[in-house]
Structure 1
């Protein structure tokens, strides 16, 4: 799930949700498993893990699969994805010798070589050993324009909560006596070389019910946190408030606070020497950067200003001077999507804007340039039938890197000069699996309301269309997150190469066709998302591409909720279900981890109509004793401080209580993404693929 300027209408603070939640809890026999690190809970986890490890890791397929997974994860000829910092190329890298990873740099010219020479800036394995922590890299925020000092974010074991320390890129060391912010879910940026602006846990009463900060302060160099000066205070009912300092290549600078009232609705607040002021920007929009004094915004609702009508899902430019002077905003539309188009990414260079978009779930990219009268647009010539992402850009110059990926072609990296946009391929790693004889097709299924739902299927050319092909399908279906074609070396090696097929379903709730595709499945309208997914499965069976006995599904986080609902509503359609780091108790999600953040997506039990609907879909509450279900594999992590492991635990416990077969595994590290180190992510994927092989190939 998104953790950026996210938000959700939090009703817990009003008192109504708490009362309703208490009523729900009275009938919950497994409430004790919500005790996150409790002795009884962890003993239960240990016993369940032992049983599942015995089944999956002792399977004869496991040694080969985990070996292949580790080999792929540690391959030294992977693309070192770039970040542009201070005129250098930086990269965070993990391999067999550095399972926690190293942050390293090289020059742009050296990076273009087949085997660049790198200089290590920070070794997380050495730091973890020295400090007896399992530090996980969470990124760097560097002081512009020189970018010689950075704020390094480190997580203990992969949690969203981080420690932040000042790092000197010229010496390659942490700054002695420099800025250091203790563990918190927090957002921090530079005001100037000696001043930070931060939202974090400042003490009792400064976090929302979601566990995110709503108080913003400035902190001076050398001063303790207790001396920080308050700049802005949101409300406990918010999701949170985060600082966002915008810079451009012309030297313009704006300190803006993003107050997320709900997951999808933000107030934008300009910080000035005279105080703070709310900006007249649409609530459903996202700041994307700044160029030549123009702020770039991506909208998720219609907007009108200065006589200009902006369609939902557009990219728009606004004058920073107009924002500061409180003048009527004159809007310049950079891109207005068609019915089957969506803006996926926006990035700025010194003089240009780069847009990555999709057209019927296929990637496109363009460079836009401001002129005296508007903007010009130049389409980039890149491979078709693929996804295009913006890997790196900087406002120091016009260099940028784009990634291109598809189901059967390894991800490639392309460099452009945005001033003369002719992409040049600079990195192309070898294939990680044998794609010989594999093809990709795109079909559409008709959902219950007649809407056409596209999906991609990767399969063997000339395969028997008799329903005998083992097939796995995934989707997400929420939060305007798009699932587009991409190269998955692990699925390719562990599944496709062994004769299986793979499906991505572009169901509603996602962002494949813009905000409307997402908003069609919000709150009480959510059942259509689950209908879409089932419709794709049935369409596959109708085409004889697979059959229920040979069909498995998987998804994580919100996709884990999707899997839980499909497990309950259509157990006859799937013979294997993998439920990853999921939400499953939808009547108590507001009481667990960052759950209150997502009320804007799911609704709230404090609203009678929404509670009534949530009761119909909550996987934990809709398991039926005595009903025939496929044996699911449920996994989570103890360090997941976003969704929390409680959902997965309770769901497994209910299945056990009802005598329904299942497998459960909870890794003790990794956070919500389950990738604290190379070995962990490889192990988790290998266990999944062993499970699918047992169910769909071996018939176990």
Structure 2
């Protein structure tokens, strides 16, 4: 039987099954959902979709259906005894912690930072001296004052070289649909015309100031005046002079870029040029350009060159190359004739990966007058290697064994501020003296009322279906007995070269552990934990490896006596939501409960959305026969089986999500509610004032966390710790 014929027959079974299942209404408490079959043809393949009508998010019938689903979910969650105490306690812990400073930028003898101070709903932009003393910090921009509802967020910011002005992108309701504001740092007032359409989830957004501060290069989308099929594509680079009408802004680059180009701009103080990084969608291909201070441009690398990051030094360019080095090597290229063929290898490939980070990698290369600091990742934990400008190794920045560093900011006094994060301690910045290599704590370090003195993190390895060893970061109370009785929450992602690195676990994990639970983070293929090979083994037609890794991780935890399927839950979001859908449709017997947020489920319809088109280089396209075969092979929506005993499921989405269309959650929930044979609930939570998660207010984030853990506690029979 040919593959196409086999899938045609299988799709017919699914379509008939979905229609018939309405008669016995498997999830008895679910609102009724009409079946309106639509059949698509992909070459010889016919696929019938029973819930296509739920894709029309603005249709009044869909809005009524969504409201009914959310009402049902709220009725369940709000009546759980633990739900409100959890929300109150989580908010109390957030308010009791110290302020958090992050995304540092040194400019004009000052230090800028985003600044989070619960119970304020949104982070603010602050400025302080080079001594990095938060007691002397001053708020430059407070979105909480601009919008007391907490629905206005800062997407990103870039200070001018003198530190007198700062360009800030802001958006509403978690949409990430940003407009650019130029703020006078001294007064906090907007001093230039607001520029719309500079930021969107499809390709992000960016700014690079001219060295004299008279203007800046910025990213721009076609905007609302263009046809819908162009509005969130064709990102370009334009130049704006301070004081000019944005209508007079000058086009610089981008008309010949791919439709799904994602552009990042990087200007180093005193550098002769701006580096423009162009991603070809989300699959990991990059091209790079230079913009001279006079506005002239030059292409530096092409997609096929496998250069994934470029940083500008005072007299040379530094490039991370994966050409013949899947974990990455560092090249050096002179500025007198920046032809890639003339680049020399400065730091060869090592046992750790030089991964792109920040805006396409430049943030992972920190240059000072005396040294290079390269952030490396080794299976999850990261380290910072130090080299002389000639490539001579100078050791590493001292860090805890299981930690990550996501910021290294050079200061004018010859020191560096390094952000250190671990699972069990609040984030902290240490100051490294370049001359001596000595480090000391700073007042930017956070404190938390939540402590983990009685907790440990152990790294163990599961063996996947094909023999690949998959790292597991197991967070457990010291002395835990491996008797198979613990509630266990397994988290994973596995995509886009994104690595799950150590992050402070915080109050919700403390609740979980105090209730007898174990928490596990799996470093699956598809991420960047071991370099590009690890990523490609979980992308495109290899995506099934990710789901096999996760299933093997779950089975390992059972086999080792941590838990049992009846006591195990899984959680993931976005690409991790796809992981959840594939995992519980392929292995419903492994989990008792699953939380899946802002996930992808109908893999045959992903590329029809604006951001979905950017995902083709990661997932593949239905237009490619082999990729179609792989997509259909794991697509969660198409593998829901009538009568299967699915776990209890909580899905959450946001109406303003520009990254993953909420229709995925609507359709998947409808199909599961019709099919499940377990009598466990399939719930959908929909927030009208949230998107993919970026820019959500503190209250939204806290209440969503309380929803998730109250659901898990209820389904796994856990007791809310009374001592809390």
Give the TM-score, by structure 1 length: 0.87
Aligned with 1:331 (options 331, 344, 348): 344
Measured against aligned partners, the alpha-carbon deviations of 1:45-101 in whole angstroms (never above 9, x if no partner) come to 221111111211221111221112212333342443362333223333333453234
- Tell whether 2:88 aligns with 1:88: no
Aligned with 1:314 (options 329, 336, 355): 329
User: 2:144 is matched with which residue?
Assistant: 125
Q: Secondary structure at the match of 1:672?
A: coil
Q: How many residues align?
A: 662
Structure 1 residue 214, shift from structure 2 partner: 3.3
User: 1:346 is matched with which residue?
Assistant: 364
Instruction: Name stretches of at least 5 consecutive residues in structure 1 with no aligned partner.
Output: 1-17, 303-309
Residue pair 2:646, 2:676 contacting (<8 A) in 1 also: no
Aligned with 1:520 (options 537, 544, 550): 537
Q: Secondary structure at the match of 1:36?
A: coil
* Cα distance in 1, alignment partners of residues 262 and 352 from structure 2: 33
Evaluate the alpha carbon distance shift between residue 652 and residue 658 of structure 1 in structure 2; reply closer, same or farther with a 3 A threshold.
Answer: same
Aligned with 1:615 (options 632, 640, 646): 632
Greater CA drift, 276-285 or 679-688: 276-285
User: 2:160 is matched with which residue?
Assistant: 143
* Cα distance in 1, alignment partners of residues 229 and 594 from structure 2: 34
Residue pair 1:341, 1:513 contacting (<8 A) in 2 also: no
Aligned with 1:287 (options 281, 299, 309): 309
Greater CA drift, 273-282 or 284-293: 273-282
- Tell whether 2:280 aligns with 1:261: yes
Evaluate the alpha carbon distance shift between residue 68 and residue 400 of structure 1 in structure 2; reply closer, same or farther with a 3 A threshold.
Answer: farther
- Tell whether 2:684 aligns with 1:664: yes
- Tell whether 2:188 aligns with 1:169: no
Residue pair 1:356, 1:364 contacting (<8 A) in 2 also: yes
Aligned with 2:54 (options 33, 36, 40): 33
Give the TM-score, by structure 2 length: 0.84
* Cα distance in 1, alignment partners of residues 64 and 49 from structure 2: 20
User: 1:405 is matched with which residue?
Assistant: 421
Evaluate the alpha carbon distance shift between residue 245 and residue 416 of structure 1 in structure 2; reply closer, same or farther with a 3 A threshold.
Answer: same
Residue pair 1:416, 1:424 contacting (<8 A) in 2 also: yes
Structure 1 residue 183, shift from structure 2 partner: 6.4
Aligned with 1:361 (options 348, 364, 380): 380
Residue pair 1:508, 1:529 contacting (<8 A) in 2 also: yes
Structure 1 residue 402, shift from structure 2 partner: 1.8
User: 1:377 is matched with which residue?
Assistant: 394
* Cα distance in 2, alignment partners of residues 508 and 163 from structure 1: 36
* Cα distance in 2, alignment partners of residues 94 and 316 from structure 1: 37
Structure 1 residue 668, shift from structure 2 partner: 1.7
Evaluate the alpha carbon distance shift between residue 280 and residue 699 of structure 1 in structure 2; reply closer, same or farther with a 3 A threshold.
Answer: same
Aligned with 2:671 (options 654, 668, 677): 654
User: 1:297 is matched with which residue?
Assistant: 319
* Cα distance in 2, alignment partners of residues 367 and 681 from structure 1: 38
- Tell whether 2:645 aligns with 1:628: yes
User: 1:14 is matched with which residue?
Assistant: none
Residue pair 1:414, 1:423 contacting (<8 A) in 2 also: yes
Residue pair 2:470, 2:524 contacting (<8 A) in 1 also: yes
* Cα distance in 1, alignment partners of residues 663 and 638 from structure 2: 14
**1:518-557 matches, cutoff 5 A:** 518-557=535-574
Structure 1 residue 197, shift from structure 2 partner: 2.5
User: 1:586 is matched with which residue?
Assistant: 603
Evaluate the alpha carbon distance shift between residue 398 and residue 212 of structure 1 in structure 2; reply closer, same or farther with a 3 A threshold.
Answer: farther
**1:164-243 matches, cutoff 5 A:** 164-175=180-191, 177-178=192-193, 180-182=195-197, 184-185=199-200, 186-191=205-210, 193-203=213-223, 211-235=232-256, 237-242=258-263
* Cα distance in 2, alignment partners of residues 289 and 414 from structure 1: 23
Structure 1 residue 544, shift from structure 2 partner: 0.9
Evaluate the alpha carbon distance shift between residue 45 and residue 529 of structure 1 in structure 2; reply closer, same or farther with a 3 A threshold.
Answer: same
Greater CA drift, 261-270 or 523-532: 261-270
* Cα distance in 2, alignment partners of residues 220 and 206 from structure 1: 28
* Cα distance in 2, alignment partners of residues 564 and 682 from structure 1: 24
* Cα distance in 1, alignment partners of residues 460 and 310 from structure 2: 33
Structure 1 residue 589, shift from structure 2 partner: 0.3
Residue pair 1:207, 1:214 contacting (<8 A) in 2 also: no
User: 1:99 is matched with which residue?
Assistant: 121
Residue pair 1:208, 1:214 contacting (<8 A) in 2 also: no
Aligned with 1:425 (options 441, 463, 484): 441
Aligned with 1:435 (options 443, 446, 452): 452
Q: Secondary structure at the match of 2:715?
A: helix
Residue pair 2:326, 2:533 contacting (<8 A) in 1 also: no
Measured against aligned partners, the alpha-carbon deviations of 1:188-234 in whole angstroms (never above 9, x if no partner) come to 33335333323322356699769233333333344444433332344
Measured against aligned partners, the alpha-carbon deviations of 1:92-115 in whole angstroms (never above 9, x if no partner) come to 333345323432222243x44xx7
* Cα distance in 2, alignment partners of residues 647 and 433 from structure 1: 36
* Cα distance in 2, alignment partners of residues 472 and 348 from structure 1: 36
Q: Secondary structure at the match of 2:147?
A: helix
Structure 1 residue 674, shift from structure 2 partner: 5.4
Evaluate the alpha carbon distance shift between residue 524 and residue 317 of structure 1 in structure 2; reply closer, same or farther with a 3 A threshold.
Answer: same
Structure 1 residue 666, shift from structure 2 partner: 1.2
Residue pair 1:209, 1:239 contacting (<8 A) in 2 also: no
User: 1:305 is matched with which residue?
Assistant: none
Measured against aligned partners, the alpha-carbon deviations of 1:358-394 in whole angstroms (never above 9, x if no partner) come to 33433322333314xx44423222222x222143514
Measured against aligned partners, the alpha-carbon deviations of 1:411-433 in whole angstroms (never above 9, x if no partner) come to 33211133432121225544543
* Cα distance in 2, alignment partners of residues 699 and 498 from structure 1: 6
User: 1:13 is matched with which residue?
Assistant: none
User: 1:307 is matched with which residue?
Assistant: none
Evaluate the alpha carbon distance shift between residue 394 and residue 381 of structure 1 in structure 2; reply closer, same or farther with a 3 A threshold.
Answer: closer
- Tell whether 2:598 aligns with 1:598: no
Greater CA drift, 226-235 or 446-455: 226-235
Instruction: Name stretches of at least 5 consecutive residues in structure 2 with no aligned partner.
Output: 1-38, 358-362
* Cα distance in 1, alignment partners of residues 44 and 237 from structure 2: 35
Structure 1 residue 20, shift from structure 2 partner: 6.0
Residue pair 1:258, 1:267 contacting (<8 A) in 2 also: yes
User: 1:694 is matched with which residue?
Assistant: 714
- Tell whether 2:91 aligns with 1:70: yes
Residue pair 1:446, 1:452 contacting (<8 A) in 2 also: yes
Evaluate the alpha carbon distance shift between residue 668 and residue 530 of structure 1 in structure 2; reply closer, same or farther with a 3 A threshold.
Answer: same
* Cα distance in 1, alignment partners of residues 452 and 120 from structure 2: 30
* Cα distance in 1, alignment partners of residues 176 and 696 from structure 2: 12
Evaluate the alpha carbon distance shift between residue 287 and residue 693 of structure 1 in structure 2; reply closer, same or farther with a 3 A threshold.
Answer: same
Greater CA drift, 314-323 or 468-477: 314-323
Structure 1 residue 295, shift from structure 2 partner: 2.1
**1:153-164 matches, cutoff 5 A:** 153-164=169-180
Structure 1 residue 447, shift from structure 2 partner: 1.0
Evaluate the alpha carbon distance shift between residue 59 and residue 256 of structure 1 in structure 2; reply closer, same or farther with a 3 A threshold.
Answer: same
Q: Secondary structure at the match of 1:448?
A: coil
Measured against aligned partners, the alpha-carbon deviations of 1:303-345 in whole angstroms (never above 9, x if no partner) come to xxxxxxx56422333223331xx47423233352217886766
